[in-house]
Amino acid sequence: MSSSEGQFRFDLSGGHLALDFANTVSDRPTENRKERLPDFASFLAFGEQTGVLPASAAKGLSTKAGKGSVEAQRAWQNAIRLREALFAIFSAVAERRPINLGAMELLNATLLKSAPHGHIVSSGGRFRWEWIGQESDCEAVLWSVARGAAELLTSEELSRLRICASEKCAWLFLDTTKNHRRRWCDMKTCGNRVKAQRHYQRVRAS
């Protein structure tokens, strides 16, 4: 574990890379909104924890950022913009609202920027994506996030997209339950919190 990953841990309950990235804000609809990507180091840590950025690449980029890299600051700002665009897109899908065209344009622009770095390679009789230049480009994590978002938007899995039923949360997730009736991003947190609140209200009303 690198030092950057050790400082940050992310809840990956979304069930998909693009959704986990969109969920790097806690309590989004409230006044107590918490930013989980406060700087470039946390952005790298997300890439490491999710496995889309090799530790060696993260270490090199962290060193680069430590020297006051303008590129690193710009990459972090672009990461926040893409995250907000992804939340706008996926929350609209989940709630059956019109899709924000500006958000789609930003996603497509990120896909276009990442395209030259993506290559298909063969290994052990199987094929996989490989990214070229991750160790030198501060936006490398966004390549996988954007491609993942595009794949989800064009897959049958999109029908399983949900948004947490808690009014204080708004995290996105894929409902993989058999009956497709999952309502909470995590039953241990939002589910229990809402149930406790409802119980308290019933007690007060009795």
List pLDDT tens digits, range 14-51: 999 999 999 999 999 999 999 999 999 999 999 999 99
Instruction: Note whether residue 171 is domain-resident.
Output: no
Q: What's the chain's average pLDDT?
A: 89
Residues 1-24 have pLDDT tens digits of 344 555 678 999 999 999 999 999
Quick check: 78 pLDDT over 80? yes
**According to the model, what pLDDT value does residue 179 have?**
87
The Cα–Cα gap between 206 and 201 comes to: 9
Could you list the residue range(s) of the whole structural domain that residue 135 is in? 3-7+14-160
Instruction: Note whether residue 195 is domain-resident.
Output: no
The Cα–Cα gap between 109 and 115 comes to: 10
Q: What is the CATH number of the domain that holds 150?
A: 1.10.3300.10
Which residues share a beta bridge with 127? Answer: 122
Q: How many domains does the chain have?
A: 1
**According to the model, what pLDDT value does residue 31 have?**
94
Instruction: Note whether residue 122 is domain-resident.
Output: yes
Instruction: Note whether residue 202 is domain-resident.
Output: no
Instruction: Note whether residue 203 is domain-resident.
Output: no
Instruction: Note whether residue 198 is domain-resident.
Output: no
Instruction: Note whether residue 75 is domain-resident.
Output: yes
Rg (CA), the chain: 18
Quick check: 120 pLDDT over 60? yes
Which residues share a beta bridge with 121? Answer: 128
